[in-house]
Amino acid sequence: MESSCDETAVAIVWDGRQVLANCIASQIDTHALYGGVVPEIASRMHVEAIDPLLDAALAEAHTTLAAVDAVAVTYGPGLVGALLTGVSWAKSLAYALGVPLVPVNHIEGHVSANYIAHPDLEPPFVCLVASGGHSHILNVTGYGEYRLLGQTNDDAAGEAFDKVARVLDIPYPGGPLLDKLAEEGDDQAYRFPHPHTQGKYDFSFSGLKTAVINQAHNLRQQGVAIDAKNFAASFRRSVVDMLVDKTVAACVDTGATRLAVAGGVAANALLRSELLRRGEKAGLQVFIPPKGLCTDNAAMIGSAGFYALMAGHVAALSLNAVPALRMMNCE
Ligand code: KG4
Ligand code: ZN
C-alpha cells in the first residue's frame, strides 16, 4: 500500500518480483487546480480511494484476502496526513487478517522497482534515485542494505523540474510536460550555470533552479520572448548532465559494474537515454525500469516489503507515520 503523496496505490506482489495486480488512483487533476499538492485534500482523497483500489487489485490478481500473507505499507518519507491514511488502513487490514505488517521506506520502494523490472538483477549495484522529494546515489550492497554515496545538498531533481516548469506556465506536475516540450527544443540555446558541490557525488539543484527562474524573469522584463521549447531543453540538459556525470563517476570510482535508476525523474526521456549511453560507454550494465514503475506505485512497495519480511522486519500495530524518514541500514 502506498499513499505518501498524491497517488493512492494498492498492489499484490508474489515473492518480491512478480506483480499480480498494480492499481493506482492519481489525484493529479485535483492538485493541478492549485499548482501543487494540497496535503489535506491528498489525505481525504486517499481515504476515499483505498477500499475500491483493494477490491480492484484483488479482482485483477484473481485472488481473495484469505490468500494474503502480509501487508506492506509505506510509512515514510512523505506527507504526514497522507502517510497516516495508508498506515492506519494497513494496520487494520493486517490485524483483521492476522498477518504481519511490514513497514517500508518509500525510497527503498523506488529502488526495488528494479527487482520487478529486471528479474535477474541482484545486489550489489549502484542506484540513482531521483524523485520529487529525493536525489540520492546509493550503493545497494544487499537487499535492504545501502551505502550512501551522494545526495542533494538542497532541492530534489523533481522539485527543480516542477518549479522551472511553473515559470514556463506548464501545469503541475511540470516534470513530465517539461520533458515533452524539451524533446522539440535546442538544448544549447540557453546557458545555465553548473553548480559546484563539496561532496564529489553530491548534487545541488537550488542554485540552478534560481538562476533559470531569474533568467526567465529578466528576459521578460526586457521584453524578450522566451522560446519555451529551447528553454525547457537547455534546463533539462543541465539537470541530466549533472545527474549522469555524478552517477557514472560514482560507479567508476567504486568499481561497480551495474547501474540502476529509480524515482519519478527516471521517467525523463533524456535521463534514460543518457544513463544508457554514458553508462554503457563506461562499461556498466545499465538497468532502467519502465516509466510506470519509476513514478509512485505500490508494486515497488510490495517488492521492498517482501525482502524486508524475509529479513524479519515486522512492525507492531503501534507503527506511526514518519514524514522525514531516512534510509534504514544506510551508512
Ligand atoms: O517518485 P515520484 O512519483 O514521487 C515522489 O516520490 O516524489 O516523483 C515525482 C516527481 C515529480 O517532481 C515529477 O515532476 C517528476 O518526478 N517527473 C519527471 C518526469 N516524470 C515525473 N521529471 C522529469 N521528467 C519526467 N518525465
Ligand atoms: Zn516516490
- The CATH number of 122-288, from 3.30.420.40, 3.20.20.70, 3.40.50.2000, 3.30.70.20, is 3.30.420.40
Residues having CB closer than 6 A to ligand 1 are: 5, 131-133, 158, 161-162, 173-176, 179, 263-265, 267-268, 295-296
Per-residue pLDDT of the chain (331 residues; tens, 9 = 90+): 999 999 999 999 999 999 999 999 999 999 999 989 999 999 999 999 999 999 999 999 999 999 999 999 999 999 999 999 999 999 999 999 999 999 999 999 999 999 999 999 999 999 999 999 999 999 999 999 999 999 999 999 999 999 999 999 999 889 999 999 999 999 999 999 888 898 999 999 999 999 999 999 999 999 999 999 999 999 999 999 999 999 999 999 999 999 999 999 999 999 999 999 999 999 999 999 999 999 999 999 999 999 999 999 999 999 999 999 987 666 6
Contact 101, 315 (CB under 8 A): yes
How many whole angstroms from its chain centre is CA 26?
15
pLDDT at site 194: 85
**Dist. CA 265 → ligand 1 center (Å):** 4
* CATH 3.30.420.40 for the 7-110+294-310 domain, yes or no: yes
Domain boundaries, the chain: 7-110+294-310, 122-288
Report the C-alpha gap between 146 and 123 in whole angstroms: 10
For 64-110, give the DSSP string: -GGG---EEEEEESS-HHHHHHHHHHHHHHHHHHT--EEEEEHHHHH
Which atom of ligand 1 has the smallest separation from the CA of 294?
1
Cis peptide before 173 (omega within 30 of 0): yes
Pairing, β 145-151 against β 135-142:
antiparallel
**Dist. CA 220 → ligand 2 center (Å):** 34
**Which residue's CA is the closest to the ligand 1 atom numbered 16?**
264
**Which residue's CA is the closest to the ligand 1 atom numbered 8?**
264
Assess whether the region 7-110+294-310 and the region 122-288 belong to the same CATH fold.
yes
Report the C-alpha gap between 263 and 296 in whole angstroms: 7
Contact 233, 187 (CB under 8 A): yes
pLDDT at site 329: 64
- What is the sign, positive or negative, of the torsion defined by CA atoms of 42, 45, 47, 50? negative
Q: Which amino acid belongs to residue 63?
A: T
The answer to whether the predicted template modeling score (pTM) of the entire model surpasses 0.75 is yes
In the chain, the DSSP E strands lie at: 7-14, 18-26, 71-76, 101-105, 125-130, 135-142, 145-151, 258-262, 285-287
